[in-house]
Amino acid sequence: MTRLHDPAAHTFASDNYAGVHPEVLAALADANGGHVPSYGADPYTRRLGEVIVDLFGEGAAIDPVLTGTGANVAALQALTPRWGAVICAATAHIYTDEGGAPERLGGLKLLTVPTPDGKLTPELIDRQAHGWGDQQRPQPLAVSITQSTELGTVYSVDEIRAVSDHAHALGMQVHLDGARLANAAASTGASLRDLTRASGVDSVSFGGTKNGLLLGESVLTFTEEAREGITFLRKSDAQLASKMRFVSAQFLALLEDDLWSRSAEHANGMARRLRDGLAPLEGVTITQPVDANAVFVVLPRGIVEEIREVHHFYDWDRPTGEVRLMCSFDTTEQHVDALVADVVEALGRL
């Protein structure tokens, strides 16, 4: 096959743009060859289950799936009956960026709440947590939080515990969309368990693709009720991989030697370096705390397209000029410094 891209190319568009971490590629090669049972009845998936128990405690389980959207849909379906609704932030990925899949595919009503920083609180949850028993209102039966959020902010352990305690007291279960959970853990210094099960979360969509996997996400469950649902929902949601050993082997590479933490800490560090380079520049405004691996910034309109042509990034809020710059496991200091230098040069020509 002829290579069709420049392997040295780097952008700040998304951590999904990054390639596969070399340690993950090596794990895939190790898992290859020979015949092993399919659909999860393989030694790699069994070993992954043991690793999850070590990390999260007895009763924790992992079910590998194919996509983040599939993980979110299946996890929420398992927590919520057909008449149930899910409370989430208005900026939540499940609401803004999944083509309506939770509602169209999952049959779930999403009840959104505006937030200043992408994070829900007990008080914000209460704006939608009402109407139980009203046959004309979807029943609020679950809360979904995103960690780290779509605005790059991170919940502390105490904040998650407050959300979980409040939701449970109201009879609701808690789901955590953890596409960038690794970045949040690296940012807070808390363990994966502290940010999830120990804080009262019932299930997690645990991401891998944004942290160096080729493909594959997973659903973590901490209750038998949630686990039983996933057993059947993966197939009906088209998320049951036949050659599951290759998804599981990647997660083993991520989890067994703390690759998840090393990669996330690096990406977060590059985001902080980028923030520190851009923040002092006249006419440049950092709009959100840089808690993880995202930098939200307003650049002067006269330089945005010039910088985008070289470094590529996405608009976040066109009316305000806010853009999002994402760092990944393979972002280097040279990549960051080159972007900052190009902004400085462009500003000098205004």
Whether residue 275 lies inside any domain: the answer is yes
- Maximum Cα–Cα distance for the chain, whole Å? 63
Specify the pTM.
0.96
Instruction: Answer whether residue 17 is part of any domain.
Output: no
What secondary structure letter does DSSP report for 124?
Answer: H
Residues 277 and 158 in one domain: no
Residues 44 and 111 placed together within one structural domain of the fold:
yes
Radius of gyration, CA atoms only, the chain:
21
232 and 303 housed in the same domain:
no
76 and 103, same domain (yes or no):
yes
Q: What is the pLDDT of residue 226?
A: 86
134-140 — which CB contacts under 8 Å span 24+ positions? 138/83, 138/84, 138/85, 138/109, 138/111, 139/83, 139/84, 139/85, 140/84, 140/85, 140/86, 140/87, 140/111, 140/170, 140/172
Instruction: Report the C-alpha gap between 40 and 50 in whole angstroms.
Output: 14
Q: Which of these, 142, 346, 158, 181, lies nearest to 268 by C-alpha position?
A: 181
Cβ atoms of 286 and 83 within 8 Å: the answer is: no
Structural domain includes residue 92: yes
Residues 343 and 205 in one domain: no
Per-residue pLDDT, 250: 98
CA distance 218 to 44: 14
Domain-located, residue 5: no
Position 279 scores a pLDDT of: 98
Does residue 216 belong to any structural domain of this protein?
yes
**Same-domain check for residues 239 and 170:** yes
Clarify whether residues 38 and 57 are in a common domain.
yes
Secondary structure (DSSP) of 146-175: ESS-TTS----HHHHHHHHHHHHHTT-EEE
Comparing CA positions, the residue from 330, 270, 329 lying closest to residue 294 is 270
pLDDT recorded at residue 311: 97
pLDDT in tens, the chain (350 residues): 899 999 999 999 999 999 999 999 999 999 999 999 999 999 999 999 999 999 999 999 999 999 999 999 999 999 999 999 999 999 999 999 999 999 998 999 999 999 999 999 999 999 999 999 999 999 999 999 999 999 999 999 999 999 999 999 999 999 999 999 999 999 999 999 999 999 999 999 999 999 999 999 999 999 988 888 999 999 999 999 999 999 999 999 999 999 999 999 999 999 999 999 999 999 999 999 999 999 999 999 999 999 999 999 999 999 999 999 999 999 999 999 999 999 999 999 88
Show which of 210, 232, 257 is a domain's final residue: 257
- The CATH number assigned to the domain holding 217 equals 3.40.640.10
Pair (155, 57) in one structural domain: yes
Number of structural domains the chain divides into: 2
What's the CATH number where 310 sits? 3.90.1150.10
Residues 250 and 124 in one domain: yes
CB 11 within 8 A of CB 17: yes
Question: Considering 257, 273, 288, which residue would you say is the last residue of a domain?
Answer: 257
Structural domain containing residue 214: 22-257
9, part of any domain? no
d(CA 65, CA 203): 14
The DSSP secondary structure of 39-59, one letter per residue, reads TT-SHHHHHHHHHHHHHH-TT
Is the backbone peptide bond immediately before 328 cis, with ω within 30 degrees of 0?
A: no
Residue 240 lies in a domain: yes
Q: Token pair for residue 2?
A: 């002829």
Same domain assignment for residues 206 and 330: no
Q: Do 312 and 242 have their domain in common?
A: no
Whether residue 10 is contained in a domain is answered as: no
Domain boundary among 257, 274, 302: 257
- Say yes or no: 87 and 70 in one domain: yes
